[in-house]
Amino acid sequence: MTETNKAKRKQSARKGKAGAQPQERTVTIPFPDTDSEDEATRILEKQVPGCDKLDKDERAELLRLIRDHRKRGAPAKVKMTRKPHGGWSIEATGKSEMLALLKLHETFSANSIDPVNARANELLKYLGSVGADNEARYNAALSFIESMKPQDQAEALMLVQMYCTHDAAIRALSQLGLAEWAPTAQTFGNLATKLLGTSQRQMETLARMRRGGEQVVKHIHFDNRGGQAVIAENVSQGGRNSEK
């Protein structure tokens, strides 16, 4: 065997090892479209491996979880393709292009594609900065934003910030655990604390946005004249819809 053939075989073997990717396992979730518990149980026993080994309570829990899963629906998903000269091309994916696009619009509470593209670029810039600009991570972000059901584009902006802040905080915490020197641990500890505090304030801001800025202020007066303690409580509400 010549040296050239040996080199080719080694190169081929390396390619084979590098190209061997773990196979993804697909699980099909059945949906018993019936109100009869007995009929639903029979369907599950036929279509769900191991269902016959579950007791009555476990089968009831399985059926409830399947129905809840169906009610939540499928989140918006995209397919990402890297461009030859850098950057990404993002396309809605699914059986119906119109359904997939409408899901994306709903995810960002947008009536046009421009806000959708703007939020996509923001997410990709952050994910790219931490080496996580891939399809799985981007779709995970979409799933989070969709689950929070933004009512307008201001809430969509806030949810993008919340996702990025949370991810950055978790990354800081992971670096804290890997730090070998006290100054490094302190640096990442302080960063994680600030990011977690920012994340909490973002959640509070989103809650206030959904309340419409309403606040409840209680004024409590103590009057002990006459030997008795009398408590008078006045409640006033402040907000954009309250009267002055």
pLDDT band at 228 (very low <50, low <70, confident <90, very high): low
pTM over 0.75: no
Q: Tell me, what's the pLDDT at 74?
A: 87
Beta strands in 10-145 (DSSP E): 78-82, 88-92
% of the chain beyond a pLDDT of 90 = 53
Its sign, for the CA torsion 138, 139, 140, 142, is: positive
Q: How many CB atoms lie within 10 A of CB 194?
A: 14
Q: 123 — phi, psi (to 5°)?
A: -65, -45
pLDDT higher than threshold 60 for residue 152: yes
| pLDDT tens digits, one per residue of 110-135 | 999 999 999 999 999 999 999 999 99
